[in-house]
Amino acid sequence: DTGVSQDPRHKITKRGQNVTFRCDPISEHNRLYWYRQTLGQGPEFLTYFQNEAQLEKSRLLSDRFSAERPKGSFSTLEIQRTEQGDSAMYLCASSLVGDQETQYFGPGTRLLVL
Amino acid sequence: DAKTTQPPSMDCAEGRAANLPCNHSTISGNEYVYWYRQIHSQGPQYIIHGLKNNETNEMASLIITEDRKSSTLILPHATLRDTAVYYCIVRSYGQNFVFGPGTRLSVLP
pLDDT of the residue at B92:
83
pLDDT digits (tens, 9 = 90+) for B36-91: 999 988 999 999 999 998 999 999 999 999 999 999 999 999 999 999 999 999 98
Give how far Cα A9 sits from Cα of A38, A47, B12, B43, Å: 15, 20, 31, 11
* Residue A38: pLDDT band with limits 50, 70, 90: very high
Q: Does B39 touch chain A (CB under 8 A)?
A: no
∠ at Cα B69 (A47, B26), nearest 5°? Answer: 50
CA–CA separation, A28 vs B67, rounded Å? 36
pLDDT of the residue at A1:
54
Q: Does B99 touch chain A (CB under 8 A)?
A: yes
Average pLDDT over residues A14-22: 98
Residue type, B22: C
pLDDT digits (tens, 9 = 90+) for A56-84: 999 888 899 999 999 889 999 999 999 99
B93 to A101: CB separation less than 8 angstroms, yes or no: yes
Q: Does B93 touch chain A (CB under 8 A)?
A: yes
